[in-house]
Structure 1
């Protein structure tokens, strides 16, 4: 297996990656990812064409999540238990720092749909909308 860890391919000069989804529980979702999991709040907006939103991410602004809520409602139940955000940590100690923050806020691990995650020491949590976040103790590559 060959793994290319270099630059983006020619013709795909991507500068940032954002994963965005709506929610009717914006404050709860932001608290889960920012306060309990530990992502940084990068930007917040209110009243933009009926939308409020928050962008959360890793250090820098290259990779981030955006959560939005619309004044007319933004229902967003997770389609399946295997729609995942997977975060790979640099070791078990760092992963368990996040697990302890989540536990202190009342979030308990949920069973992983795919046994691969449990077999590799990962823990899965559901955010307030039911979307799953998998915490893995070490990188794959």
Structure 2
């Protein structure tokens, strides 16, 4: 696929508010293992943490505001999906999540049960770890 010339994007950030910044960071950084690539404190009332994805061209930003924010997922089908190539790596990740006290939950969409494992972060947003080989097989 060729990237459109009219859209010279260098990186993408997915930003989301939360009232539970410490718990969210513990889930994504500590349990999942995303590296922390930056943070800021009290910038016009906002505090935030950026967590890197592969290549750091894509990252997540979680923010909280001194007056509070709505960080709850609007539906159980609001998802962040990580595609994992190796079944053994997926199993190690499931064990890691268990060691941090996180247990899988049934996904809203049953498609994700076919090779994937679903979790909810502290705000109720879905996180799916999907076996990429199984995903490709299901699409064929």
Q: TM-score, normalised by structure 1?
A: 0.91
Q: Tell me how large the CA RMSD over aligned residues is.
A: 1.3
Count of equivalent residues: 135
Q: Secondary structure at the match of 1:124?
A: strand
Question: d(CA) in 2 for partners of 1:50 and 1:115?
Answer: 40
CA contact (8 A) 1:22 1:67 kept: yes
Match of 1:123 in 2: 117
Structure 2 runs not aligned, ≥5 long: none
Match for residue 137 of structure 1? Answer: 131
Instruction: Report the equivalent of 1:87.
Output: 82
Q: Which residue of 1 aligns with 2:26?
A: 31
**Distance across 2 between alignment mates of 1:116 and 1:100:** 22
d(CA) in 2 for partners of 1:28 and 1:45?
17
Supply the distance in 2 between the matched residues of 1:97 and 1:19 (Cα, whole angstroms).
26
Deviation sequence 1:95-129 (CA, Å, 0-9, x none): 1222111111111100011111112x100000000
SS at match of 1:101: helix
Extract structure 1 runs of 4+ deviating beyond 6 A: none
Corresponding position of 1:19: 14
Taking structure 2 as the reference length, the TM-score comes to 0.91
Distance 2:9 2:32 in 1: 27
Q: Which runs of 5+ in 1 are unaligned?
A: none
